[in-house]
Amino acid sequence: MEKCHSDAISPRLPPVSREGCIFCNIAAGMDSTAKVIYQNSEVVVFQDIEPASREHLLVIPTTHIQTVEDLTGDDIPKLKYLYSVGKVVLEKRGGDISKSRVGFHWPPYNSVDHLHLHIIYPVEEMGLSSYRQRRDDHYFYTYEYTLDWLKKQPKRTRICTAS
């Protein structure tokens, strides 16, 4: 019989939740101030407390993942799922993803250390204070840029030994 274990490129795997993480608290239903719009066992969608436009949604995994940099090539389906759920929620609220700014803050510019996808709609109503979220730079990268970056990252490997 083989014994297998995952040898993650980044050896630490994210915990289900992290004590003190506000987004973990929101995912667990422990933050009554959050305006949760949609939730299932894998993701939570809620409104940003400082919206950059008329609609500013945050889409988070319910499992604690600190930042984009903690993802590997294995996490591409997870990233695509965050996007697809966020897109459906936005459309049900009357938004159009093609007129939205969708992306992630990257370290050290993430304000909360829990992976979160921003969906900001409509782009033309974004205020001047949101200028940095209008373009790819070291502060904010689009979903597409992040997905392309992730495709270049190594996948976790399985190491098996005979027992």
Please identify every residue annotated as catalytic: 116
Compute the distance between CA of residue 113 and CA of residue 39 in angstroms, rounded to an integer.
20
CA angle 90/102/106 to nearest 5° reads: 135
Q: Which long-range contacts (CB under 8 A, 24 or more apart) does 21-30 make?
A: 21/64, 21/112, 21/113, 21/114, 22/112, 22/114, 23/58, 23/60, 23/64, 23/112, 23/114, 23/116, 24/64, 24/114, 26/60, 27/60, 27/61, 27/62
Contact 134, 101 (CB under 8 A): yes
